[in-house]
A and B are shown apart, each in its own frame.
Chain A
């Protein structure tokens, strides 16, 4: 668990000053039992398959990561020079825990994995700018019969 006190002063203030939305009410839905869950990953690590378009700051679009994409085929075009890439360089699962989800499927802790996963990039892109893309991704997730999304904010 990363704590605010462990961050640099600049990073701590950056987090505390973040423009975050407020919500009216507390929407909740009862998910299916674990064994019936079909799970997709949505990461904000700026990942995409090698050769796909690099992310552009401020755009808020997404990239598709096929479920069978090999780890060696994923690269990161996150724009920030302050973004720590070493975890990703050592182990893809730090930002995209696909191997762990496969294991949970094998152990029947979840039902199955999506055919496609999705990647966004933060790096100064306000979440509101991602709304249009997020709505499209929701449609794709539904078509893929996904009922559970693991959000990996990096």
Chain B
């Protein structure tokens, strides 16, 4: 349970107290239910930020431009999230977020590029960049009051954002490649199992 230090402390204390037994390992059920989260209720969550439409008219705006604009529109909310929490989980790839977006979307325009990091396979760099981009979007949304559940965020990201559409596009590029590792990454590493149904390939 995030941001509930009292509950967390009780759980950790209970785990450590198991060591006070003087005989045989113990496996017990923790009796306290996690406090009801003020999110993820049955009413469904609606993104409070008005993002541009996911599908753009290619005559007016390329998907690269649309992703760049989407990233920029989320920046104030991401900054607020970092300010509130004092931390960010973005930073696995070494790219800043706009650069991560440009790298990911380049798979759609230019095909699979050479790895930008010497000695690392490009699929690994892609995975880190995707994780960073997702973290940026999710942290921006988690700054909202009465925040969304993880499933809400997945549904929003993969179903409603340009970034999600880019992920599915990159997935197709990888699946169509001859390299078996790239195919595996496309199948398993980019899209959660419970979000594959958004795929235009289905």
Contacts and interface: CB of A to CB of B under 8 A. Distances in A.
Interface of A: 1, 8, 10, 26-28, 30-31, 34, 37, 39, 50, 54, 56, 70-72, 74-77, 79-82, 84-94, 97, 99-101, 103-104, 109-110, 148, 150
Contacts, number: 111
Contacts of B19: 31, 37, 148
Given A8-B194, A77-B92, A150-B12, A93 B86 contact: no
Nearest to B134: A85
Contacts of B1: 94
Contact of B138 (A27, A30, A89): A89
A104 B13 CA distance: 8
A55 B9 CA distance: 29
B5 A75 contact: no
B91 A150 contact: no
A100 B12 contact: yes
Contacts of B23: 28
A67 B68 CA distance: 38
A100 B7 CA distance: 10
Given A28-B24, A81-B191, A100 B128 contact: no
B172 interface: no
Interface string B123-144: 0100110010011001100100
A82 B138 contact: no
Given A28-B24, A88-B89, A103-B9, A150 B16 contact: yes
Nearest to A56: B124
B188 A81 contact: yes
Interface in B125-171: 127-128, 131, 134-135, 138-139, 142, 147, 149-150, 153
A104 B86 contact: no
Interface stretch (B25-33, B95-103, B107-115): B25-33
Given A77-B92, A103-B5, A104-B9, A85 B191 contact: no
A77 B88 contact: no
Contacts of B25: 26-28
A81 B87 contact: no
A12 to B, nearest CB: 13
Given A28-B25, A84-B150, A89-B139, A76 B92 contact: yes
B193 A10 contact: yes
A89 B147 CA distance: 12
Contact of B5 (A70, A88, A99): A99
**Across the A-B interface, the 8 shortest Cβ-Cβ residue pairs:** A91-B2, A90-B2, A72-B87, A86-B150, A31-B19, A50-B91, A100-B12, A71-B87
Contact of B16 (A8, A26, A93, A109): A109
A86 B1 CA distance: 11
B20 interface: yes
A68 to B, nearest CB: 15
A54 B135 contact: no
B192 A77 contact: no
13 contacts: A1-B30, A27-B25, A28-B24, A54-B92, A56-B124, A71-B86, A71-B87, A75-B89, A77-B92, A100-B5, A100-B12, A104-B13, A150-B15
